[in-house]
Chains A and B, each alone.
Chain A
Amino acid sequence: MSIKLENLNYTYSPGNAYEKHALKNVNLEIPHGQFVGIIGHTGSGKSTLIQHLNGLMKATSGALYYDGKNIYDEGYDMKALRSQVGLVFQYPEHQLFEVDVLTDVCFGPKNQGLSEEECLKRAKEALELVEFPEKYYHQSPFELSGGQKRRAAIAGVLAMKPKVLVLDEPTAGLDPKGRDDILDQIERLHKETGMTVILVSHSMEDIARYVERIIVMNHGEKLFDGMPKEVFAHYKELEQVGLAAPQVTYMMHDLKAQGMDVRTDVTTIEEAADEIMRCFHD
């Protein structure tokens, strides 16, 4: 179930004043079950990139292999691809439209052609996965709080049981608690179901805590690709493209500069605390 991108290029409005080369020769391979973070400044091409993953946008040139098959081949079943690769857009709550939450979540499975009972079953499972309170199942989605709306919308994609889940800034506009709740749930989902999760964000702190691999995009190109600590080692270059490594990276570098013999490749606060304690014990 791997996804492989080969020399992918995408140009918006080719041949006029609004022309923009949004993706430049992107090569990428994401094996099944990986938790990947895509990070980049506004306009770096990350949203464009993920819309290619389920065939919503067609590359100007290049190939995209899902499960070994090129999705741009003639006769490729895009509808099947879209139920395998679930895409949660930025502010997904803006796509809610049904009279109640449960029916809205049923929309995806219904489009897959499943029976009514199966749809309801899947919808309930998906709502449970995102810990959506059962008492709101029959409420209008427009009367919910921001965080609940977002859960309902994410459940709408999960109900299709995708093998790959792509989330475009799922925490934008949420308060810190709502943000942590959603990210924790996504992490749990990844652990429990083993699905591939691709998380787009521009916050390093968010990503560092959860993902096993980070892809940094800049001006439509892949700048770095590796484990978080490898990517954060380039913190100087990250700053140049308008990003930053997590606070702890800076702190560890400062401590090292002050003469303390700490490792600088830690990525989370917990690791940093352990590392500093280790130095004191030695």
Chain B
Amino acid sequence: MIRDITIGQYYPAKSSIHRLDPRVKIVCTLLFLISLFVQNSILGYAIATVFLAVVIKVSKVPLKFIVRGLKAIVILLMFTVVMNLFLTKGGEEIFGFWIFHISEQGLRTSVFMAVRLIYLIMGSSLMTFTTTPNSLTDGIESLLHPLNRFHVPVHEVAMMMSIALRFIPILLEETDKIMKAQIARGADLESGNIIQKTKAMVPILVPLFVSAFRRANDLAMAMEARCYCGGEGRTKMKPLIYKNRDYMAYTVTVVYLVLIIGIGRFVPFKLWIF
């Protein structure tokens, strides 16, 4: 049951996207997200769709996996669509009943908003599917390095992030195990009202907290035993170095971004609105 959570999970595969430098993937994902918001036309969305489809194809991550991540935002998505659909005014009215009115503008905005949100999630989950949590934090640390000058503890934050990420699957597994152990002792986790259900969580939460503290303690001990003392003067086993394919990925993304912005600016208005 708990195994099925996919958001923020790595999908092991051998693809050129997986091999890219994490910094490239972070920056390009950001550029892709920006590209979704700087334009608002059918043609623009078509280009974004093609770009996303090609990247997904190249990444060898099954589409099924990426779509599964959308489940988490279904409520938000429906809310946005409904709100935009009924509350946006402008253009011809397509449908009207009592206090509900759908305008042409409203339909357009809500569809585009939905597509935007879906692509946003797909794009960012593609990044986490193709990047291990560790290289992701490596990338973030390296990108945020300039902030060190302003006394932001970049390394410490990155270390905390990678530890937190590393612990998610461990704690999920632990929860699964404890739940099973308590069910084996006859614990009933499903039936009863909300108070009974909350009470039924105690036999799971207490051992889970105990184990989280135990693991944190062990980890701290192990790090100190290896003389870990923060980021100052620390070298990496696998330093991040840009390769040719990384520059290529940057180029492709920048070309894409220029294209999508250019379409909004230079292609005649009538052609791209509908």
Contacts and interface: CB of A to CB of B under 8 A. Distances in A.
A87 B185 CA distance: 8
B49 interface: no
Interface residues of A, number: 27
Contacts of B62: 16
A16 B202 contact: no
A97 B203 contact: yes
Contact of A13 (B3, B180, B211): B3
A70 interface: no
Interface string B100-140: 00000000000000000000000000000000000000000
Contacts, number: 65
A18 B64 CA distance: 14
Interface in B158-207: 174, 177-178, 180-188, 202-203, 206-207
B13 A17 contact: yes
Nearest to A104: B203
B60 to A, nearest CB: 10
B207 A157 contact: no
Interface in B203-261: 203, 206-207, 210-211
Interface string B71-100: 000000000000000000000000000000
A94 B207 contact: yes
A111 B181 contact: no
A47 to B, nearest CB: 10
- Residue among B11, B13, B207 with most chain A CB within 10 A: B207
19 contacts: A16-B62, A16-B64, A17-B12, A79-B188, A82-B183, A86-B184, A87-B181, A89-B181, A89-B184, A92-B181, A94-B177, A95-B182, A97-B210, A107-B185, A107-B187, A107-B203, A112-B186, A157-B184, A160-B185
A108 interface: yes
B125 to A, nearest CB: 15
Contacts of B64: 16
Interface of B: 3, 11-13, 62, 64-65, 174, 177-178, 180-188, 202-203, 206-207, 210-211
A156 B207 CA distance: 15
B148 to A, nearest CB: 38
Interface in A133-168: 142, 156-157, 160
A96 interface: yes
A97 B206 contact: yes
A56 interface: yes
B184 A111 contact: no
Contact of B178 (A54, A82, A94): A94
A218 to B, nearest CB: 24
Nearest to B4: A13
Nearest to B65: A16
B188 A87 contact: no
Contacts of A160: 185-186
A122 to B, nearest CB: 12
Contact of B184 (A13, A16, A18, A54): A54
Interface string A3-47: 000000000110011100000000000000000000000000000
Contact of A79 (B11, B180, B186): B186
A185 interface: no
